[in-house]
Amino acid sequence: MTLPGAPFLARDGADLRLEGHALADLARRFGTPLYVYSRRAMLAALQAYQQALRGRPHLVCYAMKANSSLAVLQTFAQAGCGFDIVSGGELARVLAAGGDPARVVFSGVGKTRAEMRQALLAGVRGFNVESLGELDRLDEEARALGRRAPVSLRVNPDVDAGTHPYISTGLKDNKFGIAHGQALAAYRHAASLPGLQVVGIDCHIGSQITQLEPYLDALDRVLDLVEAVEAAGIPIHHVDVGGGLGITYTDEQPPAAGELVARLLQRLDARGHGRRELLLEPGRSLVGNAGVLLTEVLYLKPDPEHGAAGGGRNFCIVDAAMNDLLRPAMYEAWMAIEPCVQRDAAPRRWDVVGPVCESGDWLGRDRLLAVAPGDMLAVLSAGAYGMAMASNYNTRPRAAEVMLDGEQVHLIREREMVQALFAQERLLP
């Protein structure tokens, strides 16, 4: 059976290994819960984009909301990647990891004045602006600093990406972007503001997209607008088609990065826009299947009536929880769960649940597993929106993180200490 994350993740006999390292050994060495990433898997995913774009003006900007750990950012920065950010905190992380601010695009619907100033002073490549109010505010902040802010307008193309409603971003009912029908007037307004310089156009239609057609539909609508904007005398230098390419969690068959890029370039060429710089903002497709979450089985709680009419459920209680990995609880996301060492025993169906005091605290339902207390399990495809969405609910310290790079094993984030969680709090006098 081919696992999500192959060829970097694979079985060697009974052992589950990532880049050749036995995951059970890493769990024992560093403790659990534990995030483990493959650096080589991340670079291979990035290379697929870069090879497909070779010879064309382009910039790949990693959507760091997927995983913002410094070593991950460092990996992509050293490989020549730019960054898509949505906060001043993410900009600070990029700079701390050695990223080039001139390769950073600042997205997001709610940029504050302080964040605008921070980004202007850092010298980011541009701002993806999402409202008329934001245009006016950015103009004010840029002029106050004696600068011109490079802007692209994020246009909402009203395209259904066919994904979960919580991660759909390109429909008219979503909060993101400027409506397609209002975009030309918005570009005219942006061009009239002395503190702004129009440089491009941007769209982003969602996340975990598994079909090509929504991208092509969105690109066509964006190019229609490019032609109208340039006819109004406002040059557009680049087209940013966002990110959102999906990965395989179970049986999804998303297009390969190279296939997506080839089709986008073909459409640009067919419509006479092949000279334009193309920006992409992949996140999940670069890191999702490069990471796993390791967890220890604490207790088994079988129901003797499980499977009978009206019977209950079997619970496998582990030490990872919804605060470590929110996707199953938030999106009802299905993520593969594999024993780090396979047992030669008959499997049973288990709901894999955590210690958090919520009925929604589950990592997987109805999973066929042969397990015993003390076993280590790996939640696969956990490199994206895992640690980045982790919290301290129930005063639980966040997990440690490890990066594998061939024979090298690097602890890239130490496990949090409980005392650090309330170190900034104060008792009343």
Among residues 313, 5, 279, the alpha carbon closest in space to that of 152 is found at 279
In 231-336 the beta strands, taken as DSSP E runs, fall at 238-240, 277-280, 291-301, 315-318
- Residue 378 near residue 340, CB atoms below 8 Å: yes
Rg, Å, the chain Cα set: 23
- Residue 62 near residue 284, CB atoms below 8 Å: no
The CB-based long-range contact list for 49-52 (8 Å cut-off, 24+ gap) reads 49/257, 49/258, 49/261, 49/280, 49/282, 50/79, 50/80, 51/258, 52/257, 52/258, 52/261, 52/262, 52/265
Q: Evaluate the omega torsion of the peptide bond into residue 7 and state whether it is cis, within 30 degrees of 0.
A: yes
State which amino acid sits at residue 327.
R
End-to-end CA distance of the chain: 61
The torsion defined by the Cα of 49, 54, 58 and 60, in degrees rounded to 10, comes to 20
Active site residue 203: no
DSSP 8-class letter at 141: H
Question: Angle, nearest 10°, between helix axes 113-122 and 132-144?
Answer: 50
DSSP string, 233-256: T----EEE----B---SSS--PPP
Q: State the DSSP H helix or E strand holding residue 222, giving kind and residue range, or none if neither.
A: helix 213-231
Q: Compute the distance between CA of residue 57 and CA of residue 255 in angstroms, rounded to an integer.
A: 22
Percent of the chain that is helix, strand, coil (3-state, to 5) = 35, 25, 40
61, 81, 340, 357: the catalytic one is 357
Among residues 377, 399, 255, 263, the alpha carbon closest in space to that of 325 is found at 399
Task: Point out the residues that are catalytic.
Answer: 357
